[in-house]
Amino acid sequence: MKRINRISAVVIGVMAMFLLLPMQALAAGSIDLSHAHSLTVTAVYAQKPISGMRFDAYRISSVDECGELTVIDRYRDFADELDIRGKNDTAWQNMAQTLAREILLDPDLKPSRSAVTDADGVAKFADISMGLYLIVGNGVEKDGYVYSTSPFFVMLPEQDLSSNTWNYHVVANAKPGQEPVKADYEVIKVWKDDCHKDQRPKSIAISLICDGEVYDTITLPHNGAWSYTWKDLDTNHQWTVMEKKEQGYKDPDIQQEGNTFIVTNTCSKPTTPPQPGKPTLPQTGQLWWPVPVLIAAGLLFVVIGLVRRRGTIDEK
């Protein structure tokens, strides 16, 4: 249940970020769902194509001709309510990492499609549907090094802002990194609990996960520090960490920066009810065409009001 709740929060956030897509779709025109389309992922490091790298594509949502995103069945229970919190590359990267970690820990969540890069470092996904995808790359070992990529989101089709049209043949550059076969992995604990710092647990257990299975469990603080380093781990595996939720804290936020895992615990605070008059965004499935119409109507009323006000002033 806790894992479902975490996945739910991630998927809600992902869908929320892409809620702005329908507004952009109005400018680019409707999506032709019968149009020929394709998804290709490239993997090149220092101008050297990386062959044999497998990419798994998880279809998070479908898309209709108006650009509306609808979560698919396997995630349907995780996206009942949608809200927007803003969009930036860092937020999307963190969201992709979090969702990829939850998928790694849940064997029931299988990729929609998989593809392996050829000699040119190109992976082509055959017979893939339109929608929003999470792309997860699997490391490959070559010449004493392991090449791996961070997970990322891809929208098919994507909007070409320069021509204000839809691109139905999407090519995503995975941008793999290179590291030795053996490397150290570090976990760092960060506390955000000024609201009840005195209730912070004296120690906490963190598990290191290798390809979805528990590899080791340590207790922090270690030697007086809220950090720990695992030495000489095989980088040709998917590594992450896991920590159970502590009472009085939100689900731990786990982000990876290189070979370092940053686990942040934030104290729980009461949810602030919506402020009267605060604008909210439509949920998935609602019509977006009235939005620009209402905006235009509002501007028209403002202009009429200003004209009337000017007329009244002139009469005086």
Looking at residue 286, what is its pLDDT? Answer: 39
Give the chain's length: 316
pLDDT in tens, 59-114: 988 899 988 888 887 766 544 333 323 345 677 788 788 888 888 888 888 999 99
pLDDT in tens, 16-39: 555 545 555 445 578 999 999 999
pLDDT in tens, 130-163: 998 999 999 999 988 999 999 998 999 998 878 8
The Cα–Cα gap between 174 and 123 comes to 10
- What is residue 14's three-state secondary structure? helix
Domain with CATH 2.60.40.10 in the chain: 2-180
The Cα–Cα gap between 225 and 219 comes to 11
- Of 201, 179, 151, 157, which is closest to residue 37 (Cα–Cα)? 157
- What is residue 158's three-state secondary structure? strand
pLDDT in tens, 170-194: 999 999 999 999 999 999 999 998 8
Domain with CATH 2.60.40.1140 in the chain: 182-266
- Of 196, 260, 188, 191, which is closest to residue 220 (Cα–Cα)? 188
The Cα–Cα gap between 39 and 129 comes to 9
The Cα–Cα gap between 245 and 35 comes to 46
- Of 187, 185, 189, which is closest to residue 252 (Cα–Cα)? 189
pLDDT in tens, 235-282: 989 999 999 988 889 889 999 998 999 999 998 865 455 454 433 333
**Pick among 3.40.50.261, 3.65.10.10, 3.30.70.20, 2.60.40.1140: CATH of 182-266:** 2.60.40.1140
The Cα–Cα gap between 217 and 314 comes to 79
The Cα–Cα gap between 169 and 158 comes to 8
What confidence tier does 288 reach under pLDDT thresholds 50, 70, 90? very low
Q: What is the DSSP letter of 157?
A: S
pLDDT in tens, 79-91: 433 332 334 567 7
The alpha-helical segments, DSSP class H, found in the chain are 2-17, 21-28, 89-105, 290-315
**Pick among 3.40.50.10490, 3.20.20.80, 3.40.50.1100, 2.60.40.10: CATH of 2-180:** 2.60.40.10
Distances (CA, A) of 280 to 8, 16, 70, 82: 20, 12, 19, 10
The Cα–Cα gap between 164 and 158 comes to 10
Looking at residue 81, what is its pLDDT? Answer: 32
Looking at residue 74, what is its pLDDT? Answer: 76
Is residue 6 predicted with pLDDT exceeding 90?
no
Is residue 283 predicted with pLDDT exceeding 50?
no
Tokens of 56: 């798994």
Measured from the Cβ of residue 256, the count of other Cβ atoms closer than 10 Å reads 20
Question: Contact, 257 vs 186, CB < 8 A?
Answer: no
Token pair 């939100």 in the structure block, residue: 250
Question: Contact, 55 vs 135, CB < 8 A?
Answer: yes
Tokens of 33: 């769902």
Looking at residue 18, what is its pLDDT? Answer: 54
Can you give the pTM of this predicted structure?
Answer: 0.70
Looking at residue 92, what is its pLDDT? Answer: 74
